Amino acid sequence: MIDLKEVLTEYAEAKKYKLKEMDGGVFSLDIAMKLSDGSFRYQFVWAWVIPGRAKGQDCIYLNSRIGTYNPTVNLYNLMKDSGAGVYSSVTIVNDKDKQGNPCETIVVHASPIREMVSKEEFLYILWEVAERADILEERFFGGDNN
């Protein structure tokens, strides 16, 4: 069973990513993605443990924002494009916007069972969540908004 804080801290230090621990054991990791022109774009991923989520087993919940849901979002194409994830999926969650107002946010998420995921698998899933969110954010919301 992996220790979330330990794995994220080690990974962030090795990659020189910004890692922040917030209240309640929630971690925010700013993942850098190198673009074809050599520049970087960044994608935040949040991670925390949810005890007993999967039939009594702990899950590590990961999510990364794509954009705020609104009636003009092309959900049909978004769902079609989101199928490229192997370990992740897309959902809508209750959230707050930058001003603190309630909203619904479209996120890429994954929730591997903590007792069953290795460090290497976890890091792959973490990267996939960030990468899929970045791609979908660009396609459906016009760029890096979150």
99-130 pLDDT, tens per residue? Answer: 999 999 999 999 999 999 999 999 999 999 99
Question: Residue 110: what pLDDT?
Answer: 97
Indicate whether 93 pLDDT > 80: yes
Question: Residue 58: what pLDDT?
Answer: 95
Using alpha carbons only, give the angle 2, 8, 12 rounded to the nearest 5 degrees: 150
Task: Report the candidate in 108, 18, 25 with the shortest Cα–Cα distance to residue 62.
Answer: 108
Task: Report the candidate in 98, 95, 85 with the shortest Cα–Cα distance to residue 131.
Answer: 85
* pLDDT tens, residue by residue, 2-56: 999 999 999 999 999 999 999 999 999 999 988 888 888 899 999 999 998 888 8
* Domain spans, the chain: 4-141
Class of domain 4-141 as given by CATH: alpha beta
How crowded is residue 76: how many other Cβ atoms within 10 Å of its Cβ?
A: 8
